[in-house]
Structure 1
Amino acid sequence: MACTVAAGGTSKASFNSIMAQDLFMAEAICSSASSSSSSSPSSLNFCKNRGASTARVCPKRKRPLRIAIPALQPLDLEQESDAGVDAIELECQRFSAFCKRGRTRKEMEDRCKASIGVPRNPHLAFFGVYDGHGGAAAAEFAAENLGKHVMAEVGKTTEEEERGRFENAVATGYLRTDDEFLKSQGEGGTCCVTAVISDDDLIVSNAGDCRAVICRNGEAQALTSDHRPARPDERARIESLGGFLSYCGGTMRLQGSVAVSRGIGDRHVKPWLTAEPETTVVKLRPDSEFLILASDGLWDNVSNQEAVDMARPSCVDSDGKVSLLGACKNLADLAVSRGSNDDVSVMIIKLRDFYCKVNNA
C-alpha cells in the first residue's frame, strides 16, 4: 500500500513506528529508574502514563563533587622573619641603639656595634651602624671586625704624627675589613657609618649612605656626606675607572646594580665601588650634646633637624619620661609611619658624658 506524506505531516505507519520506539525507550528508562531508586516520583509517574506519545524522560544528573578551596590568607608583612632577627637593642647610660626590620624584608640586614674603653686607652670608644644589602653577611662581618681594626690603627697614632693621622688610621681599618670579607667569599655588601672618640677628638667616617649628625646647642649638623653614584665627584671617580651609571627602578645605580658608590663587600662591582671612607675629625666642646648614627632607612624619611629635635629631650636635661633607647625607637617608628619599608637603624651617643670624663680625668 502506498503511503503519502503531506508537507509538514507524517504517515500513519511512520507514526505508529515512532510510538512503538518511544514506548520501548520509556519502559526501559522506567525499569532502570525503578531498580535504582524505587521511590523516584518522576519515574513512577512516567510509568503510569507511558501510553502518552509526547512524554520525554531525561535521566537525573548527579551533582558534581565539591571542590575544597582553601581560605585566602591575609598578607602579614609584620610576621617574624625566617632568620628570627626582627630587632636589635643596645642600651647603656651613655649610648643606645635600635635596629628594626623593614616591613617588606624577609630578614633584617642591619647591624650595630659599640665598644667603650680598651685596656691601654680607657678614653677610646668606637660606635658603628651597618646597613647591609644582599643579605646580612657583610653587615655582620663588619660589625664584628671593623671596630677592632679601626681602634687598633687609631691606638697606634701619636700626636707627633702629621696631620691626617686619624683619617689614615680609619681608612686602613675599613680597607682591611673589606679585604678580609672578600677573601672569606662572603656575599652581599654593607654601608657603614662609624664614630671613634679618642680623648676629646671625635672621628666620624662613612662609606655609603649611612649618615652621622651631631647636635650642638639644639642645631643639627651633618658630619658625613652620602655616597651616591649620582654625586658629581663620585660619578667622575667611577667613570674614570671605566664604570657606568644607569637609572633603574627610580634610582641611579652603579653598573645597573647597587644604589651606593662606597661600602664593604659587593665584589661584583669592584673596583668602582670602594671601601675607602670619608672621615671628619672635630673636637668635642661643651656645646657638643649628642651624635646620631643612622641608616638611610631613617634619613630617607626624617630630616636631620627633625631627628635632633625628637632625640634631644632624652639627651639634654632629660626628665626620665623617654629613655635614650626609647628615643631611638621613636625615630624608627617615625620613619616607618612615613612609609619606610627599609630596615631602620638608629644609634644615639651622649657626647657630653665623654667630654666631661676626658676633661675631669
Structure 2
Amino acid sequence: MSCSVAVASSPVFSPQRIPLSLFPSPETLAFGLTHHHLSPKAATSPSPSVSLLKRKRPARINIPMIGLEAIEPPLGSDSLREMEEGSALYSVYCKRGRKRVEMEDRYSAAIDLHGDPQMAFFGVFDGHGGSKASQFVSESIGKRIMEEVMNGGGEEKGIRIEEEIKNAYLKTDAEFLKEESRGGTCCVTALVRKGDLIVSNAGDCRAVMSVSGAAEALTSDHRPSRPDEKDRIESLGGYIDCSRSVWRLQGSLAVSRGIGDSHLKQWVISEPETRVIKIQPDCEFLILASDGLWEKVSNQEAIDIARPLCVDPQKPAPLSACKKLVNLSISRGSMDDISVMIIQLRQFI
C-alpha cells in the first residue's frame, strides 16, 4: 500500500526545487515534508537550491488468506491430534477439534471375540470435561458387556440382551465414579453376535445404518430438550434452560445421559437405550459417530457420501469414507472433536 503527501499549489512550492533552509532536519528528509509551516520571508530569501529527495515506496505487505484448515489449535494442546485404523471389517477416524486443547473422543474395536469371527464389539465415546471418562469407558465397557452376555445366562435364565447391556453400562458407570475423576462421556456401542446387531447409546453419539442406501437411525439422541428426558429431569427436581440455542441440564450439560458427571448424577443417568436387529443382506454398513459429525451432516447425507466408498466390491475404501465425513463437518464449521467409525455389516452375515 502506498501513500502520498498533498502539497498546496503555490509558486514557492515548486515540485522540483525547494530552498535548503526550509529543511529542518535529516529526519524530515527521510519521511518527506509533513506539516512544515513556512513564513513568507523565509520562502522568498535567496539560498542555494537542492533537488527534492524522493521517498522510497514501502515494500508491499502480503496478507495471506487463512482458511479453516490452516487454523492451529491453541497453545498447550496435547499431542493427540488424530487417530485412525482400518481393516476389512471396520475403519475409524478421529480428529481433535480446531480449538480444543485435548482430544476427548475415544473408540473401541474388538473382533474375533472368544475365537468367534462372527462376534465383535465396537464403540465411540465422546468425552466432556476432559478425556478421563472416555478413556476409561473405551477400555472397560466392552469387557463388561462380554461378561454380562457370556456369563449372565441370557435367554436360558429369561434375561433379555437389553438387560445385559444395561447392566454393563451401569457397572461401568459405577466403576468410573469410584475413580473420583471429573467429566463424563457419551457412548454408542454395537455388539455383533449370532447374526444379530445390538446397538446401544447413552448421550448424543449416534448409530446410523445403510439399508440398500437408505439411512436408518438406530439410536435417538439423549438431550435435555427431548420431551421424555425433560419430564424425567423435572420430575427429579432438575431444570433445563436454553442458552445460545442449546438446551442444557442445570444450565451446563447439553446431554441428559452418559457415564460419569458425578456432580450431575441425580439427573444424568447411564442407562442406555438398546435396539436388536437381525443383520440382513440389505444391511450394508453401520456408522457410529460422535455429535461432532451429526451436528453438521444429516443421516442420509452421511450414508450417501460413505456408500460409494464402502459397497464397491472391487476397491472398498471405508477409511477414506470416514475421513471424508470428518473433513466435511470441519469444512462446515465444526470446532468439536469428531469421530467416525464404519462397520461392514455384510462381513458378519
TM-score tier after normalising by the smaller chain length: 0.7 to 0.9
Deviation at 1:331, TM superposition (A): 0.3
Matches of 1:305 and 1:299 in 2, distance apart? 11
Corresponding residue number in structure 1 for 2:340:
346
Give TM-score, length-normalised by structure 1: 0.75
Deviation at 1:222, TM superposition (A): 0.1
Corresponding residue number in structure 1 for 2:280:
285
Map 1:270-281 to 2 at 5 A. 270-281=265-276
Matches of 1:255 and 1:304 in 2, distance apart? 29
Q: Does 1:268 align with 2:263?
A: yes
Deviations 1:192-217 (A, max 9, x none): 00000011110000000000001111
Corresponding residue number in structure 2 for 1:324:
318
Matches of 1:341 and 1:205 in 2, distance apart? 26
Matches of 1:161 and 1:198 in 2, distance apart? 18
Please, which of 200, 208, 217 is the counterpart of residue 205 of structure 1?
Answer: 200
Partner AA of 1:300 in structure 2: E
SS of residue paired to 1:123: coil
Matches of 1:168 and 1:146 in 2, distance apart? 15
Any runs of at least 4 consecutive aligned residues in structure 1 with deviations exceeding 3 A, and if so which? 74-77, 157-162
Map 1:155-304 to 2 at 5 A. 155-156=150-151, 157-162=153-158, 165-304=160-299
Deviation at 1:248, TM superposition (A): 2.5
Structure 1's 268 and 158: CA in aligned 2 closer, same or farther, altered over 3 A?
closer
Deviation at 1:352, TM superposition (A): 0.1
Deviation at 1:91, TM superposition (A): 1.1
Matches of 2:166 and 2:85 in 1, distance apart? 26
Deviation at 1:233, TM superposition (A): 0.3
Matches of 1:269 and 1:191 in 2, distance apart? 14
Matches of 2:209 and 2:333 in 1, distance apart? 25
Corresponding residue number in structure 1 for 2:96:
101
Q: Does 1:112 align with 2:86?
A: no
Deviations 1:291-333 (A, max 9, x none): 000000000100111111111112212442x621111000000
Partner AA of 1:151 in structure 2: M
Partner AA of 1:342 in structure 2: D
Deviation at 1:120, TM superposition (A): 6.0
Q: Does 1:337 align with 2:331?
A: yes
Partner AA of 1:167 in structure 2: E
Partner AA of 1:328 in structure 2: C
Q: Gaps (5+ residues) in structure 2?
A: 1-65
Corresponding residue number in structure 1 for 2:12:
none
Deviations 1:128-180 (A, max 9, x none): 00001111111100100011101211223444443x61111111111111111
Out of 264-273 and 322-331, give the one that drifted further.
322-331
SS of residue paired to 2:271: coil
Partner AA of 1:331 in structure 2: L
Matches of 1:153 and 1:121 in 2, distance apart? 17
Matches of 2:327 and 2:112 in 1, distance apart? 31
Partner AA of 2:204 in structure 1: D
SS of residue paired to 2:297: coil
Give aligned pairs, total: 282
Q: Does 1:78 align with 2:97?
A: no
The 8 Å contact of residues 73 and 101 in structure 2, kept in 1 or not, is answered as: no
SS of residue paired to 1:297: helix
SS of residue paired to 2:237: coil
Q: Does 1:310 align with 2:285?
A: no
Partner AA of 1:208 in structure 2: G
Partner AA of 2:263 in structure 1: H
Deviations 1:217-266 (A, max 9, x none): 11100000000001000011111111111222431110111000000111
Matches of 1:158 and 1:148 in 2, distance apart? 16
Matches of 1:159 and 1:202 in 2, distance apart? 16
Matches of 2:317 and 2:337 in 1, distance apart? 22
Matches of 1:302 and 1:118 in 2, distance apart? 33
Partner AA of 1:78 in structure 2: E
Matches of 2:340 and 2:190 in 1, distance apart? 13
Give TM-score, length-normalised by structure 2: 0.77
SS of residue paired to 1:340: coil
Partner AA of 1:129 in structure 2: V
Corresponding residue number in structure 1 for 2:129:
134
Say what the alpha-carbon RMSD is for the aligned residues. Answer: 2.0
Matches of 2:109 and 2:184 in 1, distance apart? 20
Matches of 1:161 and 1:179 in 2, distance apart? 25
Corresponding residue number in structure 1 for 2:55:
none
Partner AA of 1:307 in structure 2: A
